[in-house]
Amino acid sequence: MLAQIIATLLTRDLQKLKSELELYTHEARIWKVDKSIANTAGNLCLHLVGNLNTYIGATLGNTGYVRNRDAEFSLKNIPRKELIEKIEATITMINTVLPTLNEKILKAEYPMLVLKEKTSTEYFLVHLAVHLGYHLGQVNYHRRLLD
């Protein structure tokens, strides 16, 4: 049950991330940095896609995804269309991997130590959903402020 709820919430918020990117009237502004706003919407998108593909896809779904976290923040000017394709592929991955997680897996310790302490898989999945929501708000703010 929880895995399906998390899949639904992650899908909803990734769809909203896609909508936010589509709402930029000038595509170049997805990559705009201004004053104290250091993370662009494009870099936050790459970060979220990398995060979910690492901690759900690679770790729980054995997808083979290899993360380059530094690139998530250093790459620039990737076309909006390519960012949206990455989001869509992440949605597909989530809806492939999460339904395979049974109650035993959810209650078990998450296979990687990511936070300061060990957690259950279900706890970490909730963390990932909250992390997405946090950065989604930043993307929305970036768009409204700089576009």
pTM value is 0.96
**Tokens representing residue 112 in the block:** 């990687």
Question: What's the CATH code, domain 2-146?
Answer: 1.20.120.450
pLDDT digits (tens, 9 = 90+) for 89-141: 999 999 999 999 999 999 999 999 999 999 999 999 999 999 999 999 999 99
- Cβ-contact 14, 83 below 8 angstroms: no
- Cβ-contact 146, 32 below 8 angstroms: yes
| Domains in the chain: boundaries | 2-146
pLDDT digits (tens, 9 = 90+) for 46-70: 999 999 999 999 999 999 999 999 9
How far is Cα 120 from Cα 69, in angstroms, rounded to an integer? Answer: 23
